Amino acid sequence: MSEETTRNPRADAVPVDPRLAAAARVDKDALDSNGRFKGKRRRKVSYLTTNKIDFVDYKEVNILRRFINDRGKIVPSRQSGNTAKQQRMITSAIKKAREMALLPFVVSEMSTDRREYAPRRERFVRRDENQAGAAEAAAE
């Protein structure tokens, strides 16, 4: 056999910068629009974990209010930082507290700390010149 047939085809390849090789293996979603790597976000730490609370009862309304937004909805775990087990415990406690009328199901009144929103503006309706001309001709 000749030396040509036994050679490794990769041996002829141009050496690649190790940083570029690592970037080629990385998920493309990890890159931002400039091609740079996005930093890993730190996971939020739960209020229950920091205060070493193992169990939340439905009667502990002060703790449960932390996990309800201003509309009376249960805050998702990605916002509160709860684990799945903690989130299930809080959800069941909030539902029991609602049944016992300790917490509201829905907050319909606007509180003073909420922002007042401006009235909605009318949408600008844009008509094509052909439609506008046809409408004027039909009116005459």
Q: Do 74 and 67 touch, CB atoms closer than 8 A?
A: yes
What local confidence, expressed as pLDDT, does residue 8 receive? 60
Higher pLDDT, 108 or 18: 108
Q: Does 64 map to a domain?
A: yes
105 CA to centre of own chain: 24
What local confidence, expressed as pLDDT, does residue 107 receive? 85
User: Cα–Cα distance between 104 and 71 in angstroms, integer?
Assistant: 9
Q: What is the pLDDT of residues 93-129, one digit of tens each?
A: 999 999 999 999 988 876 665 555 556 667 766 666 5
Q: Does 71 map to a domain?
A: yes
Could you tell me where the DSSP H helices lie in 1-128? 3-6, 18-25, 47-50, 61-65, 77-80, 84-99
Q: Does 33 map to a domain?
A: no
Q: Does 40 map to a domain?
A: no
- Look at the chain and report how many structural domains it folds into: 1
Q: Does 114 map to a domain?
A: no
Work out the average pLDDT over 21-48.
68
In the predicted structure, residue 15 carries a pLDDT above the cut 70? no
Q: Do 101 and 70 touch, CB atoms closer than 8 A?
A: no
What local confidence, expressed as pLDDT, does residue 11 receive? 56
Q: Do 110 and 76 touch, CB atoms closer than 8 A?
A: no
Q: What is the CATH number of the domain that holds 94?
A: 4.10.640.10
What local confidence, expressed as pLDDT, does residue 97 receive? 96
Question: Which domain range does residue 74 map to?
Answer: 47-99
Residue carrying the six token digits 């976000």: 41
Q: What is the pLDDT of residues 35-70, one digit of tens each?
A: 666 667 777 888 999 999 999 999 999 999 999 998
Q: From residue 40, give the alpha-carbon distance in Å to each of 31, 37, 43, 136.
A: 11, 9, 9, 60
What local confidence, expressed as pLDDT, does residue 40 receive? 74
In the predicted structure, residue 76 carries a pLDDT above the cut 80? yes
* Residue 65, amino acid: R
Q: Does 62 map to a domain?
A: yes
